[in-house]
């Protein structure tokens, strides 16, 4: 996966533009309403979904598999954010506990074992009363069923990207023991991607209860 994303960012650079995803804005408001400050963003990319958090005064740490993406983030956003270079499968990169975690369009790129580990690793780096928000592709997206079927609800696209498509049952199965507050389907308009359709995602919000 490292090579795929490294080549993608080298070739397409800031391929999603600079405006944050709608779900990032929703998450920012949730984090602000609950007085959160220190957050982790696994799958940082070049930082388009991080900037609204740093602009709002949040202390942000990222995890990113592509060195090129990190270089792009530094170029466009400066050095205010600590970014760990590596795969989320190698978490944890530090022993910090975070008030909030925002993971956008990453978890569905992983296999079942990797997904479970990511959710568990994120939960263990949450402070009590902290929130983690995952955005994952839905079975109701138009891309479902396209490409080679690898396993139940998991397909490989013609570009070699492996996608697991969530429905409500799989959301509950994988996130159920991690304090689900809410999960709902959303449309991301991808407004900076010309001639690209909106995608159907789940936005999954969990809270770590204080013991």
Q: In Å, what is the CA distance from 175 to each residue of 123, 170, 172, 193?
A: 10, 8, 5, 30
Q: Which two tokens stand for residue 104?
A: 């956008």
For each of the domains in the chain, give its residue range(s) and CATH number, in order of start: 1-208 (3.40.50.150)
pLDDT tens, position by position, for the chain (211 residues)?
556 545 665 555 555 566 788 999 999 999 999 999 999 999 998 888 999 999 999 999 999 998 888 888 888 777 778 999 999 999 999 999 999 999 999 999 999 999 999 999 999 999 999 999 999 999 999 999 999 999 999 999 888 889 999 999 999 999 999 999 999 999 986 554 555 678 899 999 999 988 7
Does the model's pTM come out above 0.95? no
Q: Which two tokens stand for residue 83?
A: 């970014």
Q: Residue 81 has what pLDDT?
A: 87
Helix or strand (DSSP H, E) at 82: strand 82-85
Contacts of 119 (CB under 8 A, 6+ apart): 107, 134, 174, 175, 178
Contact present, 175 and 118 (Cβ < 8 Å)? no
Tell me 163's DSSP state: E
Phi-psi region of 114 (alpha: psi -120 to 50; beta: other; left: phi over 0): alpha
């Amino acid at each position: 996966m490292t090579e795929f994303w490294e080549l993608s960012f080298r070739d397409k650079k800031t391929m999603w533009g600079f405006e944050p995803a709608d779900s990032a804005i929703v998450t920012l408001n949730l984090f602000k309403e609950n007085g959160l400050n220190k957050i982790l963003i696994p799958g940082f990319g070049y930082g388009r979904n991080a900037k609204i958090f740093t602009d709002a005064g949040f202390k942000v740490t990222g995890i990113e598999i592509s060195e090129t993406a990190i270089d792009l983030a530094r170029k466009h956003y400066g050095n205010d954010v600590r970014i760990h270079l590596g795969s989320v499968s190698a978490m944890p990169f530090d022993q910090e506990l975070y008030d909030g975690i925002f993971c956008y369009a990453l978890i569905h790129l992983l296999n079942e074992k990797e997904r479970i580990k990511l959710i568990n690793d994120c939960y263990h780096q949450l402070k009590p009363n902290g929130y983690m928000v995952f955005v994952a592709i839905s079975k109701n997206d138009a891309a479902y069923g396209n490409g080679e079927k690898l396993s139940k609800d998991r397909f490989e696209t013609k570009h070699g990207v492996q996608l697991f498509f969530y429905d409500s049952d799989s959301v509950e199965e994988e996130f159920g023991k991690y304090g689900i507050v809410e999960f709902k389907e959303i449309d991301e308009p991808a407004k900076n991607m010309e001639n690209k359709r909106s995608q159907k995602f789940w936005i999954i919000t969990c809270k770590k209860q204080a013991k």
